[in-house]
Amino acid sequence: MRITFYDTVDEMFNALGQAMDEADSKVQEWQKAIKKGDCFKQWTEYGFYIYGKVLKNAPRTKRLQHYRFCFCFSEACPDGERGDVHISVVTELIDQAIFDEAYAGLNSGRKPPF
């Protein structure tokens, strides 16, 4: 994890814009097709996967086109949470059965809460 300090709000928003542009430049063609209902895995630098399911399609603005609203969980957050995911970090699409099995494995056999 990297923590960055900024002297001004403008400096912070400029850095955010640059980071978004960099992430957008890393999106592969297969990732652009990720849509509502798709399940995925994301490998982390911490040595575990984050599993996710897309709950909503991409926003209609060009600036946010590579974000998806998802439900995600992992060893670090087994109950999961909802939030936006940039598709450039998705490493593999998986089927619903694998997603459900992973959730049950981390949550004593329970099914995902949706």
0.75 cut: is pTM over it? yes
DSSP annotation of 110 reads P
Distance CA 106, CA 92 (A): 20
pLDDT bucket at 114, cuts 50 / 70 / 90: low
Predicted local confidence at residue 37, as pLDDT: 97
Q: For domain 9-106, which architecture applies?
A: Roll (2.30)
Extract the tokens encoding 102. 């992973």
Ranges of beta strands (E only) in the chain are 39-43, 49-56, 67-74, 81-86, 92-94
The type of residue at 8 is T
